[in-house]
Structure 1
Amino acid sequence: MIQQINRYFTDIYFNLHPTQEEVISHQSVRILQMVEKKRYVMIRDIAEQLSISHNTASEHVKKLVRNGWLYKERSREDQRKVYLHLTDIGLAILRKNTELDENKLQDALSKLSINEREKVVEAFRLLSEVSK
């Protein structure tokens, strides 16, 4: 079953992924995802999550800040803490690199019955919930 799900997932991702316009590394995508999915993210959190050194995480973040995809904000409660946030451009880049192309997805879903579309949505909802 696991192999089937992975095969189907990779087929879906390959066929419905948007065309890439920016060059972005896998680690940069993961960092943007972390910042989007978690409320308070600091460089040390990125280093821990990606199993990389603090210096390496810092260099990745500097690049993302230079690109205008992230910005830093000092905590008001504790000035030693610096949190990372997505910019609007960063969010758009993240979506282009992690979501399916809406037009391709709509075209694929239009080939299914209403009942089949509801099953697809329900399956993804369930898998999303248990993965958290």
Structure 2
Amino acid sequence: MEDFMTLNKQLCFAIYETAGEFTKLYTSVLQPFGLTYPQYLVLLALWENDGVTVKELGEKLNLGTGTLTPMASRMEANGWLRKERSKEDERKVFIYLEDKARIEKADITSKVAEVIQSCQIELEEYEQLMKQLHTLQDKIKIRKL
């Protein structure tokens, strides 16, 4: 059991290291567009469902408003999105894609696909990894309940 407790045998450390490598990989691809990895995740969510509230976007991305609000403000200043306060309920702020985000989508997603393919992850392996990670995530969430 002692051997299991070494750093390199820890699943949490392997996931942490892998997440760091993914962040570096995506950062190198997104930097020419002036985007950070978390900003790219915001765009992905909005490309799927535009015109959501800050709260809904935060829930989808698992980000608190303290992180998401300043990020959205920077993205707004850079022309990626706009924020609009609801006329019916001033507490709600909606986020909408700007034309820049729609125009750049094909180029951004193409560059991301290129770099992922350069990692030689086959489609079947990709799908298997996604399934395993979602299963692991569900197990951890159940544990928290």
TM-score (norm 2): 0.48
1:8 equivalent in structure 2: none
Does residue 1:55 correspond to 2:51, yes or no? no
Partner of 1:13: none
Verify: 1:84 aligned to 2:98, yes or no: no
> Gapped runs of 5+ residues in structure 1?
1-17, 105-132
Q: 1:20 to 1:55 in 2, by over 3 A?
A: closer
Aligned counterparts of 1:19 and 1:56: Cα–Cα separation in 2: 19
Find the counterpart in structure 1 of residue 75 from structure 2. 64
Q: For CA contacts below 8 A with separation 6 or more, give which structure has more relative contact order.
A: 1
Post-superposition Cα deviations, 1:68-107, rounded to whole Å, max 9, x if no partner, equal 1101123333333221111111222333222369xx9xxx
Counterpart check, 1:24 vs 2:35 = yes
Return 24-33 or 73-82, whichever deviates more. 73-82
Q: Distance in 1 between matches of 2:87 and 2:106?
A: 30
If each structure's helix is expressed as a fraction of its own residues, which one has the higher value? 2
Contact 1:20 1:96 in 2 (8 A): no
Counterpart AA for 1:31:
V
Q: How many residues align?
A: 85
Q: Does the Cα contact within 8 Å between 1:70 and 1:86 map onto a contact in 2?
A: yes
TM-score (norm 1): 0.53
2:81–2:96 CA contact under 8 A, matched in 1: yes
* Structure 2 letter corresponding to 1:56: T
